[in-house]
Amino acid sequence: MSDAAFTDGYWQSDDGLRLHYRDYAGRDDRPPILCIPGLTRNARDFEPVAEAFAGEWRVICVDLRGRGESDYAKDSASYTPTQYVQDIIALLDQAQLDRVVALGTSLGGIVTMLLSMSHADRLAGAIINDIGPHIDDAGLSRIMDYVGQGRSYPTWMHAAWAMKESSADIYPDYQTADWLGFAKKVMCVSGSGRITLDYDMKIAEPFAAPPPQPSVDMWAALKSLEGRPLLALRGELSDILSDVTFHRMEREVEGLETVTVPGVGHAPTLEEPVALEAIARLLGKVSGKVAA
């Protein structure tokens, strides 16, 4: 667990949900880092980022609707990237955040790209972690197989071994302590005292529905990020973001720095030295622009 101190913040969605974020204090002369997690994940994922940069940077880590300490949606049909973008805009407005450095992992990266399409002026920089305009079929199939499976465990150690069984190929170097820490990020103690995944199982339901038409051109969404400091990270073993897509992103988006994080799959946890060094470079570019 991170030693960095935070306060709990809350905001309200347009449809009346009480949504939660962690707020790590930092300097007020530079834009905050706004961390947006992946599909089944929550604000705890970004503890390494807060540990590394809070103080010099304000770090805001959100729980998207249906995750962590945020309310579950009344209608599962609202578990969509378009709605998450609206929720983030509501946060920016209610917390009076003119601009942020968006750091989005997986789904959070999709939200970041879509946010840029409609509100590019709110982004001082962006970090996209292990996601791109095209998602590999193998990774998408894997996600659809596990999301919404409401398993529970009697102890944290049982939960840790379950995480190892399902994810050893993603984090092949993890030891027992790592799996225990991983379990405590993605799970919580339920009302019955058992350990369960910390999200609404109904987030899986929109996957069963046909995609809306017309679909968004995600390459255009990515390209809309141009004109500000940009970084894309990819796990070397990722089954979500292929090396081919990653290199195309580098070619098509001017100013995008691309960094491969060795030895991990989807997604880098952002505690890897290579990832933290890349984030620090990106933030250095942002602070230089702010100072100018």
Tens of pLDDT along 213-251?
558 999 999 999 999 999 999 999 999 999 999 999 999
- For residue 291, the model assigns a pLDDT of 54
- pLDDT exceeds 50 at position 292: no
List, as own/partner pairs, every contact residues 92-95 make where C-beta atoms lie below 8 angstroms and the sequence separation is at least 24, other chains included.
92/119, 92/122, 94/11, 94/12, 95/9, 95/11, 95/60
- pLDDT at position 268 is 98
Q: Which CATH number characterizes residue 55's domain?
A: 3.40.50.1820
Token pair recorded at residue 195: 């350990």
Strand partners, 59: 24, 33
120-124: average pLDDT: 97
Phi first, then psi, for residue 275 (nearest 5°) are -65, -45
Domain annotation covers residue 176: no
In a domain, 191, yes or no: no
And the tokens for 46?
């970004």
Please give the Cα distance from 264 to 96 (Å, whole number). 36
Q: What is the pLDDT of residues 35-62, one digit of tens each?
A: 999 999 999 999 999 999 999 999 999 9
Host domain of residue 91: 7-137+213-291
Instruction: Report CA dihedral (153, 193, 181, 202) to the nearest 10 degrees.
Output: 70
- Classify residue 219: in a domain, yes or no: yes
Query: Which residue from 148, 173, 172, 176 is spatially nearest to 162, judged by alpha carbons?
Result: 176
Give helix 156-167 / helix 176-186 axis angle, nearest 10°: 100
**R_g (Cα) of the chain, nearest Å:** 18
> Is the pLDDT reported for residue 211 higher than 80?
no
Specify the number of domains making up the chain: 1
Report strand pairing: 230-235 vs 256-261: parallel
Residue 210 has pLDDT above 90, yes or no: no
Question: Is the pLDDT reported for residue 83 higher than 60?
Answer: yes
Up-side HSE of residue 213: CA atoms within 13 Å toward CB? 1
CA distance 94 to 88: 10
Mean per-residue pLDDT of the chain: 95
168 within domain boundaries: no
In a domain, 204, yes or no: no
Residue 208 pLDDT exceeds 80: no
